[in-house]
Amino acid sequence: MFKDLVRSNLRRVLIGEKYIALQQKIPVLEKSFQKMEELGIYLHIPFCEQICPYCPYNKEIYDTDLARKYTNAIKREINLYTDLIGIKPVTSFYIGGGTPTTMLYSGLEEILEHVYKRFNMRCDIHLESHPNHLSSDNLNTIISMGIDHLSIGVEALQDRHLKTLKRPYIAEEVRAAVERAVSKDFKCVNADVIFALPDQTYDEVEEVGHTLVEMAVDQVSAYPLFVFPYTQMGRTLKEKNYKISSIFKRRKMLRILERIFYGAGFRRTSVWAFTRPGVPKYCSVTVPLYVGLGASGGSYLKDVFYLNTFRVAEYINALEEGRMPIALSMDLSENMQMAGWLYWRIYETRFAKKDFMKRFGRDFNIIYGRHLTLLSLLGFLKDKNIEDQIVLSDKGTYWLHVLEDMFSIDYISKLWGDSKQFPWPTKVIL
């Protein structure tokens, strides 16, 4: 009840809407692309060798024949965007999943070649990976494909927690995989880890932090465990008697990691990410404008958001018939666009007011100045913000994200939950 009240009031204050609705509608994209000077690309690989019980993302069990059909479908979708994007520079390219490395030898290289053939690529490639796929030979193959930013789904570094998460390796094996990756010539190796696991102790969190520093990873993305109702873990929450940590316990665990990473010279580069100095950050979700390719790929343009069908078979069929695989879309009012921009800048923990002016032609202080005053009084902003720069304190970073999650977890659960159940939903109200 309290969360619903907070969500409704924030929605009213920030976007002036009672609710957000996505509908089964193919948007007119030509004008939207004309308004863009550059963009990012997200490529979704929806295959995994097993389904992890906590994972909320769109995925299916890997099948070689299906991967071949999916490769051809992705290439068809790329072709549909070729004229729309034209020569606009693509300034970020992120490949997520699922598990993208399931397709190392069954289509991924072919997809990348087609992307570079069709688009004006002006960026590095960021790729998610599974520890079990990171043999020395596979790492060499990944590098040969032009991928220079690698993220590894470590998730935990103690065997009992790996067992809870049903990860198919032990701590010794995942440490070896990370060390192999770090020894290769990547610009950035990121390790994803989850904290606030069931019955996890503060000492275990400290051990994880020190181990990651000792393994010389370039970046750590440390997330608390979030349980989504449509996942296996969400469905069996009561049956398995999982005890999800309180926001206060999560905050204390994050403080432990902050102390360790700051002490090792890392800088904070997002709510959950810490990066070594001099290393370009591994970045996934903070690109302002992007096109999503693949099943469940989401696209965020200046004035529209749309989402592809989640079902791999339906995605393939649509493209074989020459149709865009878009399942849902939503026109974005200026208030929605500004609120979305602010959401992701808060996620990055710092931003320049001039970038808001460049994007919207509006004075940031006029739109959000009164909110900044409140955040400053609460200690959520660093004291030494220069005139144009806004930098969140560690306290502000955490608590503002807790507030954001009142929206995002609920919205994701509804939107992704419905989209996983229905390949072509008529309408989804958030």
**CA 415 from chain center: how many Å?**
15
Res 6: pLDDT: 58
| Segments in 87-224 forming alpha helices (H) | 108-118, 136-144, 159-164, 171-183, 202-214
d(CA 240, CA 201): 19
240: pLDDT confidence band, cut at 50, 70 and 90?
A: low
CB 311 within 8 A of CB 295: yes
**422 has pLDDT over 60:** yes
Residue 238: predicted pLDDT: 56
Q: Which amino acid is at 6?
A: V
Determine how many CB atoms are found less than 10 A away from the CB of residue 134. Answer: 22
Q: What is the pLDDT of residue 262?
A: 98
pTM, full prediction: 0.93
Q: Does residue 14 contact residue 335 with C-beta atoms inside 8 Å?
A: yes
Confidence of residue 9 (pLDDT cuts 50, 70, 90): low
Strand partners, 128: 151
Backbone angles phi, psi at 132, to 5 degrees: -70, -15
| pLDDT at res. 5 | 60
Among 313-317, 348-352, 402-406, whose mean pLDDT is lowest? 402-406
242 pLDDT higher than 70: no
pLDDT at 223: 92
Q: Is the pLDDT of residue 1 over 60?
A: no
Q: What is the pLDDT of residue 231?
A: 85
| Collapsed DSSP state (helix, strand, coil) of residue 137 | helix
Indicate the average pLDDT of the chain.
Answer: 91
| Phi, psi (rounded to 5 degrees) for 301 | -100, -175
- What kind and span of H or E run contains 250? helix 247-263
Quote the pLDDT of residue 222.
96
pLDDT at residue 244 above 90? no
Classified as helix, coil or strand, 221 is: strand
pLDDT for 300: 94
Q: pLDDT confidence of 413, banded at 50, 70, 90?
A: confident
- Percentage of the chain beyond pLDDT 70 is 92
- The model's pLDDT over 128-161, given as tens digits with 9 standing for 90+, comes to 999 999 999 999 999 999 999 999 999 999 999 9
pLDDT in tens, 88-126: 999 999 999 999 999 999 999 999 999 999 999 999 999
